[in-house]
Structure 1
Amino acid sequence: MNKQSSLKYILLSAMLFLTAAAEAQFHIIPQPVSLKAGSGSMVLSKAAVIGVNKETEPIGRYLQEYLNQNYGLATTVKVYGQIPAKTPIRLNNVWSNQEGAYTMHVSPVSVSISGNGAGVFYGVQSLIQLLPTDKGAPLKIAACAIADQPRFGWRGLSLDVSRHFFTVDEVKKYIDVMAHYKLNTFHWHLTDDEGWRIQIDKYPRLTEVGSKISYYAKRGEFRKLDNLIDDGRDGFYTKDEIRDVIKYAQDRFVTILPEIEMPGHSEAAIFAYPQLGCQDSTGAKHRVRMLDPGEYTFKFMEDVLTEVIELFPNQYVHIGGDEAEMVDWLKSPTAVALMKREHLKNEKEVQSYFIKRIEKFLLSKNKRLVGWDEILQGGLAESATVMSWQGEAGGIAAAKMRHHVVMTPLPYMYFDAPQANEELEPIGWNPPVTWQMVYNYEPQSKELTAAEAEYILGAQGNIWNEKIPNAQHLQYMVYPRALAVAELTWSPKSEKNLDRFGWKMKNQYGLFKLWNFNARLPDIDGIDNIVTNKTRLKLVMNYPLNGAKVRYNINGKMPDANSTAVPFPVNINVPLKDSIGLRTFTTWTLNDQHIRQTANIKRVSIKPTHEKPASLKPGMAYEIFKTRERDIAKLENEKPFETGVTNLIVPFKPVAEEYINWVKIKGFIKIDKEADYELTSGFEVSPALFVDNEEVIKPGFNTYVEPQKALLHLKKGVYALSGHYMADKANENQTLIELKTVGGDKLYPKFYLIH
């Protein structure tokens, strides 16, 4: 390389470094469609003017209140016909054919945000994320240019207030933080078995009695509330309170979707008005959660929905439809008579009849019906929108039928599940769901054609509050996972980047602290279950939040708040003879925020084989077994369905529902240079992997919940490799084995896999 070329190379490298460093300042969630770093930054003065026009004045007032309240500024809002170019912050209303689109330009002298309605508001949210979260620091805003618009129109988050009631102020704060991250649909679950939370003038006992289920349970007049961690929280919203919340949400461009459950999950309503309950001709006494499908019920629910519709201005009303105990109808004289009269063949068709009658009523009021995916059973109502919660199948079926769909599937979109190892987290439903699992979810299934995928309106995170008694606990369960929903529903699919999102997510905690918002703390990086052949454990524990402290033990005993705390980083360097149980208790800020983590470090002996590389062929040998057998040990003498050689990804072979694919792999890892190596799997649910017959990756663990890796010092040579896993759609495109030098780059499988 000559001097001129060398100089060009140095300059290019410097420019790339400076560009990367500049863009590292931008941790906006959701990721904008286009973001370009500028030069320098703007310093926002204490008395800055926010220039608005008539259309953007409410957003200007919102920003003024935010800046003055959170940073102690004295900004003012001025309304102009034409906003002067020298105004420090300019909010311009411009027409756009894309709802929610905006542009933002930050220079060393001003900030300009342009968009239509919601777009200007979303630009303001991006601006808020560019502000420092230290109130005492100068308010520097990095220069940049952003052009942005949402991918999906439905970016949702639910709140169940039936199991535990939440106050108006608590609901407003929930909406506030949604809006900060451009989530725009608040699904308000207002009725269920455990409580009726909305005032209905025509039927006052719904709130006089149905909102006080906890009170009546304590008196012995109502069943003991099951599944709750306590006796619940009674309460309801008056119509004036609901109007107040609706206005609050509208000011933040959030639409409220009310849910009135039917025909199941209706026990609170039935307790208030027993005539609603499903009749039983056998005279049996049992818990009644189903509405009787008679004219009294339909008139009652139409009256209720009329008052709901008068309150809520949005297009949709959610009527539930899930988990209906339809077999109860087979004992009801009303339902049996209905089946005969309408020629309905089974109870599922009664459900369809019920939903279609409610749909017809809603259409007469210019509203559209939303229901959970059970409303597909017995025949889907003509204009219904389906929320797919029992996995994706219902949503895929509805989209193929040309019905609109909101994807909310288990497990990815259910935030009542714990966020890490169940033993270390607050009690919840279902196996753990981490923010990585949420982020990796794609609402538009590959099973849909491009035309069918257009019927996917977006996605929504759900939270059910049997185990969540207060607002602080609620915030812990929903965030940071809701941030992943925000990005996967807003940002282009091509812009998804898990590592970048993780970095940006950790940068949100300054805002959470500013807002006094109890999001779950991030994990310590690198606390993994480790198998190693090294004689010492060397580990550096780092943490992304300044001021955090950790209490830890390596004797397998979990520390607590009374243990000695030390600041990060923490260096662990101890002899390793057998196994170590690392336990950590991390705290941050003063309101008792903490998380616990565990890792087990096991020492093994790994030796090379006597095989010579020259006698071996490239690739890894595999066998596929098509079987009903779920115990792989019983396949020892079975003949494989297929054999082959691969460089890592074994072709996925679809099988009938009752069959499964077991894959066995066998080969060697060829090491050309003695060094420390890290071996992991890219499977979300881990395979079993063995090196020299030592199990280094255990099967069946979620890599995000209980990460595993092998840290091995390997000499030059050949090491026996084997393993097995169950092949399915979840891992068909995932990487079975990842090998890299510690602190270095990943190695290419075609160079180290042989058989």
Structure 2
Amino acid sequence: MCLCFTVNAQFHIIPQPLRLTPKPGTFTLKNNMVIGIDADNKATAIYLQSYLAKNYNLHLKVRIKPTAAAIYLLLDSNRTKGDYFLNISRSSIKITGNSNGIFYGIQSLIQLLPQDGAAPFRLAACEIVDEPRFQWRGLSLDVSRHFFTVDEVKKYIDVMAHYKLNVFHWHLTDDEGWRIQIDKYPLLTDVGSKISFYEKQGKFRKLDNLIDGGRDGFYTKADIREVLKYAKERFVTVLPEIEMPGHSEAAIFAYPWLGCKDSTGAKHRVRMLDPGDSTFTFMQNVLTEVIDLFPNQYIHIGGDEAEVVDWLKSPVAVALMKKEGLTRPEQVQSYFIKRIEKFLLSKNKKLVGWDEILQGGLAESATVMSWEGEAGGIAAAKMHHPVVMTPLPYMYFDAPQANESLEPIGWNPPVPWQMVYNYEPQSKQLSTGDAKYIMGVQGNIWAEKVPNLKHLEYMVYPRALAVAELGWTAKENKDIGRFADKLNMQYGLFKLWGLNARLPNIENMADVYTNHDHYSFVLNYPLKGAQVRYSINGKMPDSTAAAAGFPLKIDEALTDTLKLSAYTTWLLGHQHILQREMVKHVVVDADDSIGNLQPGLNFSLYKTKEVSYRKLDTIAPAAAGILSFPQPLVAAPAGSPLFNWVKVNGFIKIDTEDDYQLTTGFEESPLLFLGNAKVMDRERNRYVEPQKALLHLKKGYYAIRGYYLADDTNSTQNLLQLQTVGGKVLDPGAYLYHM
């Protein structure tokens, strides 16, 4: 039985190809067919052969330049950037490209195969011309807070490769663990990889930032080589990260002389390396062994969250500042990074660091990963340094994917896949020339709250698929609605691969404000075979409650508030998700005696430190006028710590009595009132806590007022949208008025 609905006749490839043209007919793949190859791409053919045998019990033969074949993998030396051509006809399948292009074509082919593993294996005929938008399409893995085994890392790389992600950023060292064997300094792994053990012995600080006290372990050099070989076969580059000068507590625990000394004699947690010659000798020796292992041209040296003020009490650092004429500790960070950069250049390697390496002066050849937001990446690109965009909040997958109270514990506010998908790496603040320095994008996962592989997969997927499409698909080809359909189609593959991706939400479940006395709605779900357990009294049901299938109709009288709680399971309850919906009864009244109105809404703009909209009426506005729609008012950045508050007011004019739906396009919701009734709550992410007002409106005028913060995020989003329940979207110029 197929577990997912069919969308677009099988063409549900992620990331979206550059051009896909359906053709008439199908091709049927059968046992003992031949994969025809050139002499130099046998390894890729064996990869496809092994995949089909493992997942479909379908056994094909690999032949070099056969007279006839079912699948042709043809090398084309003119293709150099991972682009490929895939043609499925009634008689054969042909994939043309360079080595990695052929591999990417195979991944598209894999997504066109039946997901349930049952014969016959019919593929819809089509022609695909495809190429990547960015050359850096990354995903990180923090193995320092919780260690992941070689087999677990291999599976992580496998799924990356299926979605054409090509940079595996391996975060190998941090405060909570050193995970890579260094022959010259055996205590790094003998001691530094066993932080959890030493914490339990009372010899290390309490690991209260970790969900379960951590998971010890390290990779031998043989392990590293095994992973590198595996990644190379899947055209994934491995980027090692060795943290410095901060986040070095595990190394300092193993070799205390590395740590920043305090001339006052104070005892405190030491995470910073002392910037002396012995430390640089140590780091150069470590990096030499790392470089000998990793063929990648880049080495990541961290550089983030360095507690540089510690250096002001360090005799070594103070002496260095005096010697070099440095006046601020940030300049010591720059000195440290530049000295490491010089060493890496001597080994023909390039330095990558987090955006804090901009502080005090950026190393000349450095590549910047912008994580604190976009500002560092934008600044570096304007300086013509290569940049990988990986900013909070969009690219941080240790954040929950939905309402924090219903999801596993994580850092930061929720980041659903829609936020990831909507992110644009080439900021509009960059000129066309500067934007060329954006090498690509990367999703990050930090493992403080991620204790095992199943949990890791839950946090990373499906969000990583949004990164894949963001990094590969041409900007003009992105379509969030189409992507949502394709995403739901991936769950058959996730099942095939044993991937514990987070389940999708129940469709259209949102907080509702309504003036109806009765509320009737249908719960739908995109995956077949899912079940739901629910209650309407606000209490969350669990696996012991009675289960119902989808679609599920709920029909209830409404006098005040209905609190729907849902517990959805799929595949025999191996995973569940929790959702809540509040349906609140409101009263809205029309005024049919208002006249002399003009199109648009009144607005007042306030530049203030106030965080509450309630205090705006006590402040003189910086500007006022008439707001035309559909775009909201966009104010120039006020500059920290000021906010750009906007207040709007006016009327909604209804010509025909009917049922209407009012929604907002803002990612962070505005606060809206119709008369005295609140119909939209503020600061709710529309993907995490969606809202709508379902109202029966009589002919007349309804007073509307609202408040929001104008910023870059909502500058291209619609403040509100009114439509009939039948789905017809109304023109705001025809119903928004002011006095």
Alignment of 1:360-509 (within 5 A): 360-509=342-491
Alignment of 1:47-446 (within 5 A): 47-80=32-65, 83-84=66-67, 86-446=68-428
Question: Percent same amino acid at aligned positions?
Answer: 63
Secondary structure of 2:193's aligned partner: coil
2:28 maps to which residue?
Answer: 43
Q: Give the distance between the partners of 2:479 and 2:462, measured in 1 at CA.
A: 16
1:713 Cα offset (Å): 1.3
Q: Give the distance between the partners of 1:397 and 1:635, measured in 2 at CA.
A: 34
The AA in structure 2 aligned to 1:499 is G
Cα distance change, pair 316–655 in 1 and its aligned pair in 2 (3 A):
closer
1:569 has 2:569 as partner:
no
The AA in structure 2 aligned to 1:672 is D
1:492 Cα offset (Å): 0.5
Give a deviation string over 1:113-164, Cα, whole Å, max 9, x none: 1001110000000000001111224211111110000000000000000000
Work out whether residues 592 and 699 of structure 2, in 8 Å CA contact, stay in contact via their aligned partners in 1. Answer: no
Secondary structure of 2:10's aligned partner: coil
Secondary structure of 1:173's aligned partner: helix
Work out whether residues 22 and 37 of structure 1, in 8 Å CA contact, stay in contact via their aligned partners in 2. Answer: no
1:646 maps to which residue?
Answer: 627
1:743 has 2:731 as partner:
no
TM-score, normalised relative to structure 2:
0.97
1:591 Cα offset (Å): 6.0
Give a deviation string over 1:52-95, Cα, whole Å, max 9, x none: 11122111100010001000111111111xx54x4111111112
Q: Give the distance between the partners of 1:623 and 1:496, measured in 2 at CA.
A: 35
1:663 has 2:642 as partner:
no
Q: Give the distance between the partners of 1:298 and 1:48, measured in 2 at CA.
A: 58
Give a deviation string over 1:629-656, Cα, whole Å, max 9, x none: 3322222244433222233224322143
1:503 Cα offset (Å): 0.7
Cα distance change, pair 705–307 in 1 and its aligned pair in 2 (3 A):
same
Structure 1 unpaired stretches of 5+: 1-20
Secondary structure of 1:695's aligned partner: strand
Q: Give the distance between the partners of 1:578 and 1:328, measured in 2 at CA.
A: 57
Q: Give the distance between the partners of 1:111 and 1:531, measured in 2 at CA.
A: 53
Secondary structure of 1:636's aligned partner: helix
Q: Give the distance between the partners of 1:61 and 1:508, measured in 2 at CA.
A: 24
Cα distance change, pair 22–432 in 1 and its aligned pair in 2 (3 A):
closer
The AA in structure 1 aligned to 2:60 is T
Q: Give the distance between the partners of 1:110 and 1:594, measured in 2 at CA.
A: 41
Q: Give the distance between the partners of 1:667 and 1:602, measured in 2 at CA.
A: 24
Cα distance change, pair 187–580 in 1 and its aligned pair in 2 (3 A):
same
TM-score, normalised relative to structure 1:
0.95
1:24 Cα offset (Å): 4.5
Structure 2 unpaired stretches of 5+: 1-5
Work out whether residues 407 and 443 of structure 1, in 8 Å CA contact, stay in contact via their aligned partners in 2. Answer: yes
> 501-510 or 71-80: which moved more?
71-80
1:25 maps to which residue?
Answer: 10
Give a deviation string over 1:231-256, Cα, whole Å, max 9, x none: 21110000011000000000000000
1:584 maps to which residue?
Answer: 566
1:727 maps to which residue?
Answer: 710
2:602 maps to which residue?
Answer: 621
Work out whether residues 181 and 483 of structure 1, in 8 Å CA contact, stay in contact via their aligned partners in 2. Answer: yes
Work out whether residues 626 and 655 of structure 1, in 8 Å CA contact, stay in contact via their aligned partners in 2. Answer: no
Q: Give the distance between the partners of 2:470 and 2:702, measured in 1 at CA.
A: 41
Work out whether residues 370 and 391 of structure 2, in 8 Å CA contact, stay in contact via their aligned partners in 1. Answer: yes
1:690 has 2:668 as partner:
no
Secondary structure of 1:224's aligned partner: coil
1:728 Cα offset (Å): 1.5
Q: Give the distance between the partners of 1:227 and 1:166, measured in 2 at CA.
A: 18
1:631 has 2:612 as partner:
yes
Whose relative contact order is higher, 1 or 2, with alpha carbons under 8 Å and at least 6 apart? Answer: 2
Work out whether residues 98 and 149 of structure 1, in 8 Å CA contact, stay in contact via their aligned partners in 2. Answer: no
1:18 maps to which residue?
Answer: none
Work out whether residues 406 and 456 of structure 1, in 8 Å CA contact, stay in contact via their aligned partners in 2. Answer: yes
Question: After the TM superposition, which segments of 4 or more aligned residues of structure 1 sit over 3 Å from their partners?
Answer: 21-24
Work out whether residues 525 and 541 of structure 1, in 8 Å CA contact, stay in contact via their aligned partners in 2. Answer: yes
Q: Give the distance between the partners of 2:387 and 2:170, measured in 1 at CA.
A: 18
Work out whether residues 28 and 126 of structure 1, in 8 Å CA contact, stay in contact via their aligned partners in 2. Answer: yes
Q: Give the distance between the partners of 2:478 and 2:377, measured in 1 at CA.
A: 23
Secondary structure of 1:232's aligned partner: coil
Alpha-carbon RMSD = 1.3
1:11 maps to which residue?
Answer: none
Work out whether residues 415 and 433 of structure 1, in 8 Å CA contact, stay in contact via their aligned partners in 2. Answer: yes
Give a deviation string over 1:336-371, Cα, whole Å, max 9, x none: 111111111121111111111100000000000000
Secondary structure of 1:552's aligned partner: strand
The AA in structure 2 aligned to 1:115 is G
Q: Give the distance between the partners of 2:252 and 2:611, measured in 1 at CA.
A: 45
Q: Give the distance between the partners of 1:484 and 1:226, measured in 2 at CA.
A: 32
Work out whether residues 632 and 717 of structure 2, in 8 Å CA contact, stay in contact via their aligned partners in 1. Answer: no
Aligned residue among 632, 647, 664 for 1:681: 664
Secondary structure of 1:665's aligned partner: strand
1:704 has 2:704 as partner:
no
Secondary structure of 1:308's aligned partner: helix
Report how many residues are paired: 731
> 452-461 or 661-670: which moved more?
661-670
Q: Give the distance between the partners of 2:464 and 2:571, measured in 1 at CA.
A: 22
1:282 Cα offset (Å): 1.4
Work out whether residues 590 and 701 of structure 2, in 8 Å CA contact, stay in contact via their aligned partners in 1. Answer: yes
1:573 Cα offset (Å): 1.2
Work out whether residues 622 and 665 of structure 1, in 8 Å CA contact, stay in contact via their aligned partners in 2. Answer: yes
Work out whether residues 23 and 36 of structure 1, in 8 Å CA contact, stay in contact via their aligned partners in 2. Answer: no
Q: Give the distance between the partners of 2:192 and 2:624, measured in 1 at CA.
A: 63
Q: Give the distance between the partners of 2:197 and 2:7, measured in 1 at CA.
A: 58
1:504 Cα offset (Å): 0.6
1:576 Cα offset (Å): 1.2
Q: Give the distance between the partners of 2:7 and 2:115, measured in 1 at CA.
A: 18
Give a deviation string over 1:518-538, Cα, whole Å, max 9, x none: 000000001100000112111
Alignment of 1:500-519 (within 5 A): 500-519=482-501
Secondary structure of 1:56's aligned partner: helix
Work out whether residues 7 and 486 of structure 2, in 8 Å CA contact, stay in contact via their aligned partners in 1. Answer: no
Give a deviation string over 1:349-401, Cα, whole Å, max 9, x none: 11111111100000000000000111111111110001100001111111111
1:96 Cα offset (Å): 3.0
Q: Give the distance between the partners of 2:368 and 2:494, measured in 1 at CA.
A: 33
Cα distance change, pair 638–224 in 1 and its aligned pair in 2 (3 A):
closer
Q: Give the distance between the partners of 1:506 and 1:312, measured in 2 at CA.
A: 37
1:178 Cα offset (Å): 0.2
Q: Give the distance between the partners of 1:635 and 1:145, measured in 2 at CA.
A: 58
2:3 maps to which residue?
Answer: none
1:15 maps to which residue?
Answer: none
